[in-house]
Structure 1
Amino acid sequence: MLDDDLVASVRGRAAIHDRENTYFADDLADLRAAGYLGALVPESLGGAGLSLRELCHEQARLAGAAPATALAVNMHHVWTGVGRYLHERGDDSLDWLLAEAARGEVFGFGYSEAGNDLVLLGSRTEARPDGEGGYTFHGRKIFTSNSPGWTRLGVMGLDTTTDPDDPRIVHAFITRDGGGFEILDDWDTLGMRASQSCTTLLDGARAPADRVMRRIAPGPSLDPYVLGIFTSFEILLASVYAGIADRALALAVETVGRRTSMKTGRAYSQDPDIRWRIATATLAQDGVWPQIDHLAGALDAEPARGEDRGARWFRDTAGLKVRVTETARQVVDEAIRCSGGSTYFNRSELGRLYRDVLAGIFHPSDDESAHSTVAQSLLGPVQD
């Protein structure tokens, strides 16, 4: 879906947005015009009908041009991924979201909270019943990508009012024109600057009854809505960081072929130490895409095959996210070491990729959470 001219335009603006700490509104307009917001939406609902596996490769291309743009758009794609996940399993509760995405609505992801290491299993935000089947939300959300651009925001909060003995996590959507929120101008970060993932204060933002998607007990859940969020988030996120590593490796190869050693008079591409570093990065990166393709393809094929990995999806996709983001950091680091001191300047694309790739350690599942998930899948829960 992303033709070379579009990718080139996005790449040409990336350094400007990074330097000026501005939102990628121009990129978003081009992506919307290309129908990219509906990439995962089935054709029957007005979208392009790409598979998750196909979108991963599109996202990697976008990330190679502008990582922050790809990361922020990724959060929109997570929601269409959830909608598609449910749709393919006979649940039409998010078909409205798929149709709206195909029409150009932008979906944001308002779930992250400071200090909430439960992630999807609990919330510091209050979800208060409005008496009409809907909820108002009250809390502080961080890392809300697409803050200047979202028109629909998925949110999560805890309802302790309806039944204090049976609290429920409420998943719902609010609209930008519905009010009840404030977006802080606080996104001044090391990397991923154009994503403008600002803090969002919810103070009465209302989701009507028909936009309340789930009321789920806190704690681990195999509800398809939760599984859809987790798997879509982890797999698509991995593709963004794989794209960053692909680009860094390509830049390193280009750079060492261009630079000449005063000591030998030969290109650095002939230096055995440089060659070893390039090979090390490539050996690591070569293992990434088979993993992404396998898991994305398995998720795509699961409904037709009548399969259901269930809880195993948490282990598989959390592990994928950690392996890919850690590999991406290693690849970019090797690329930097090969390419010389010019990469230390902000004007360097490799220097920007170095700053952007660091964000991978902060996304869920983090290293500690993934290890806990894997350990529990093999050894069971920790005994009291």
Structure 2
Amino acid sequence: MTAFDPTRYLPDDLLARIRERAPIHDRENTFPQQDLDELRDAGYLSILVPVERGGAGLGLAEAAILQQRLAGAAPATALAINMHLVWTGVAKVFSDRGVPGLEFVQDGAVAGEVFAFGISEGGNDLVLFGSDTAAVPDADGGYAFTGTKIFTSLAPVWTRLGLHGLDTTSADAPKLVFAFVERTDAVTTSDDWDTLGMRGTQSRTTRLDRAVADAAHVVRRIDQGPSADPIVFGIFSVFEILLASVYTGIARRALELAVATAQTRRSKKSGAAYSQDPDIRWRIADMAIAYDALPPQIAALARDVDERVDHGPRWFPALSGLKHRAVTMAKSVVDEAMLVAGGGSYFSGNELSRLYRDVLAGMFHPSDPESAHATAASAWLGPVEA
């Protein structure tokens, strides 16, 4: 078997250009349009689409490697692209399992469409399992969505928004409805993304006022609450694995910067490079030990999704635990890298300073620490008694 070559899809020169633009978008709080354009031209938006539909035919395991690589150059670009890749990844989960309904996502990605992720809602800790957005059916099998979605990455550029809402009016209500809407006058994007980090994602608030998904773009109607439906498993598995990949990529870059600093800085006291200092060596070793655990964990779970391994209910603690470990590891590694690099890393123009701010976003993505721990506790101890 030929080893996977990530440079085929993310060449070094492309990454260099993306890395060069990253501080500009962070400083100016702008969307990395050139990054998106170059990635689209390189076929990156369709890496998870099967070859027979015009894509690269990669698996989630390969996409995870690529997202780690992209995040090392520009975390905000990687996180923004993640949300598009989540939907193409869910489409792959469907097609791999013989479930129809998301072929239009695959074809759209090949044609250059950009899919955004409209699931998060303020105060809705049910996340995938419930929605405060109203989904009202029409006579033709479509739905009109009214509500507010937050953290909508790719806000300036998406062409279709994948979202969910709650149908409370049909005979079999309540039902959660998953569908895709186009950008129309019924969709308002607020210019409210002024954040500590991950500024290039432009994950703005999106308000829907009877935004219509026609019947062809209504993907699933399911009961509220935890579910084994392919839409829930697809979103949860791809989202958590690709999120873990982005933050693991940030950790790798922070470790590289710490090593470079240790090798170039010299002690005035001893004249030796910092790389010879036992305390610095211990600190970098600790970072490396923490980082080294995550890429194989990501690879293993991604490969299981690709190969349709059935972990049953164990999937959810495994996936939420992976995401939690990745983001906590990444934050710890960046913290340590700042200490290795010294006071210069505190300046906003320093790359580590940007990574320090970017990595904080990891704690706010689902599954949050509380959810991850509750899921693990239930897996090992059973549900909390009523």
Task: Give the TM bin, normalised by the shorter chain.
Answer: over 0.9
Report the CA distance between 1:268 and its aligned residue.
1.0
**Are residue 166 (structure 1) and residue 157 (structure 2) matched?**
no
**Are residue 99 (structure 1) and residue 101 (structure 2) matched?**
no
- 1:323 is matched with 325
Report the CA distance between 1:287 and its aligned residue.
0.7
- Partner residue of 1:260 out of 253, 256, 266: 266
- 1:24 is matched with 32
- 2:5 is matched with none
**Are residue 9 (structure 1) and residue 17 (structure 2) matched?**
yes
Aligned amino acid, residue 171 of structure 1: F
- Partner residue of 1:281 out of 281, 287, 292: 287
Structure 2: distance between partners of 1:152 and 1:363:
21
- 2:296 is matched with 290
Report the CA distance between 1:73 and its aligned residue.
0.1
Structure 2: distance between partners of 1:263 and 1:127:
68
Structure 1: distance between partners of 2:147 and 2:168:
14
Name stretches of at least 5 consecutive residues in structure 2 with no aligned partner. Answer: 1-8
- Partner residue of 1:152 out of 154, 160, 170: 160
SS at match of 2:78: helix
- 2:134 is matched with 126
- Partner residue of 2:202 out of 196, 200, 206: 196
Structure 2: distance between partners of 1:263 and 1:184:
54
Structure 2: distance between partners of 1:310 and 1:220:
13
Structure 1 residues 17-61: Cα deviation after superposition (integer angstroms, max 9, x where no partner)? 000000011100000000000001000111001111111111111
The residue correspondences of 1:341-352 to structure 2 (distance < 5 A) are 341-352=343-354
Aligned amino acid, residue 5 of structure 1: D
- 2:4 is matched with none
Structure 2: distance between partners of 1:179 and 1:50:
36
- 1:232 is matched with 238
Structure 1: distance between partners of 2:348 and 2:162:
34
The residue correspondences of 1:25-174 to structure 2 (distance < 5 A) are 25-163=33-171, 166-174=173-181
Aligned amino acid, residue 13 of structure 1: R
Structure 1: distance between partners of 2:35 and 2:136:
37
**Are residue 205 (structure 1) and residue 211 (structure 2) matched?**
yes
Aligned amino acid, residue 84 of structure 1: K
- Partner residue of 1:355 out of 335, 354, 357: 357
- 2:374 is matched with 372
- 1:334 is matched with 336
Aligned amino acid, residue 263 of structure 1: K
SS at match of 1:311: helix
SS at match of 2:316: helix
Structure 1: distance between partners of 2:98 and 2:136:
30
Structure 1: distance between partners of 2:70 and 2:157:
18
Aligned amino acid, residue 310 of structure 2: D
The normalised TM-score by structure 2 is: 0.96
SS at match of 2:155: coil
What RMSD, in angstroms, separates the aligned Cα atoms of the two structures? 0.9
SS at match of 2:307: helix
Report the CA distance between 1:264 and its aligned residue.
1.4
Report the CA distance between 1:283 and its aligned residue.
0.7
SS at match of 1:161: coil
Aligned amino acid, residue 104 of structure 1: G
Structure 1: distance between partners of 2:39 and 2:158:
14
Structure 2: distance between partners of 1:286 and 1:84:
28
Report the CA distance between 1:222 and its aligned residue.
0.3
Structure 2: distance between partners of 1:312 and 1:41:
27
Structure 1: distance between partners of 2:72 and 2:331:
14
Report the CA distance between 1:380 and its aligned residue.
2.4
Q: Which runs of 4+ in 1 moved over 4 A?
A: none
Structure 1: distance between partners of 2:175 and 2:188:
25
Aligned amino acid, residue 273 of structure 1: D
Report the CA distance between 1:161 and its aligned residue.
1.1
Structure 1: distance between partners of 2:349 and 2:217:
44
Report the CA distance between 1:379 and its aligned residue.
2.4
Structure 1 residues 110-146: Cα deviation after superposition (integer angstroms, max 9, x where no partner)? 1101111101011111111122211111111100000
- 2:275 is matched with 269
Structure 1: distance between partners of 2:68 and 2:280:
26
Structure 2: distance between partners of 1:212 and 1:282:
45
Report the CA distance between 1:199 and its aligned residue.
0.3
Q: Percent identity?
A: 60
Structure 1: distance between partners of 2:78 and 2:320:
20
Report the CA distance between 1:211 and its aligned residue.
0.6
Structure 1: distance between partners of 2:177 and 2:380:
30
